[in-house]
Amino acid sequence: MAGFDIDRVAYLARLNLTDEERALFGGQLETIVNYVDAIARLDTDGLEPTLHGHRVNNIFREDVPVTGLDPEQALANAPARIDNEFKMPRVVE
């Protein structure tokens, strides 16, 4: 296995790691990745992927309104709010 870059992966996953975690997980994940690499031995050419637990298509919902949450309920769990919005640090675009 080549190319397991723990810093890049941690950045993509938005997980800050301590130096200890970086060392510990880096080593463990290399071992795990090497282990799951076993599937590279199989010939999978021409095989369809199995993406779900069953193969039934076209499962829809009708376009009918369902009562949702009022703003107080919606914001009840918010760690921080400003008026009736969820508060975030200022986002720079």
Partner 1 sequence: MNTEELKRLTVAETLRLLRAGKVTSAELVRGLLEIMESSQQDIHAFVTIDAEGALRQAAECDARRAAGEDLPLLGVPIAIKDNMNVIGQPCTASSRILEGYVAPYDATVIAKLRAAGAIFLGRTNMDEFALGSTTQTSAFGPTENPVARGCIPGGSSGGSAAAVGGGLAICALGSDTGGSIRQPASHCGIVGVKPTYGRVSRYGVVACASSLDQVGPMTKTVEDAALILNVISGRDPMDATCLDEAVPDYTQAWAGADPEKPLAGMRIGLPKEYFGEGLDPEVRARVEAAAERARALGAETVEVSLPHSGYGIPTYYICMTAELSANLARFDGVRYGLRVPCDDVIAQYGATRAEGFGAEVKRRVLLGTFVLSSGFYDAYYNRAQKVRTLIRRDLEAAFARCDLLLGPVTPEPAWPLGVYQNDPIRNYLSDVLTVAANLAGCCALSLPAGKTGEGKPVGVQLIGPNFGEMALFRAAHALECRG
Partner 2 sequence: MEYEVVIGLETHVQLKTRTKMFCGCTLEFGAEPNTHVCPVCLGYPGALPSMNRKAIRYTVMAGLMLGCRIAPYAKFDRKNYFYPDSSKNYQITQLDYPLCLGGGVDIAGDDGSRRTIRINHIHLEEDVAKLTHRAGCSGVDYNRAGTPLMEIVSEPDLRSADEAIAYLTALREMMIYAGVSECNLEEGNMRSDVNVSIRPKGQEAYGTKVEIKNMNTFSGIHAALLFEIDRQKRVLEAGGTIRQETRRWDTEALETASMRSKENADDYRYFPEPDLMPIALTEAQIAEWAKDLPEAPGARRARMTEQYGIPEYDAGVLSADRALADFFEAAAQRCGNGKLASNWVMAEVLALTAKTGTALTESALRPEMLGDLLKLLEKKTINGPTAKALLPELFEKGGDPEAIVKERGLGQVSDSAAIEALVDAAIAANPKVVADYRAGKKAAAGFFVGQVMKASKGKASPQLVQEILARRLA
Residues 6+ apart with CB under 8 A from 17: 6, 10, 25
Helix/strand/coil for 70: coil
Distance of closest approach, residue 76 Cβ to partner 2, in angstroms: 11
Does 82 participate in binding partner 1 (rule CB under 8 A)? no
40 vs 59, beta carbon nearer partner 2: 59
* Contacting positions for partner 2 (CB under 8 A): 8, 11-12, 14, 49, 51-52, 56-71, 74-75, 82-93
Q: Which is nearer to partner 1, 62 or 83 (CB)?
A: 62
Structure-block tokens of residue 62:
């009708």
Distance (Å, whole) CA 93 – CA 91: 6
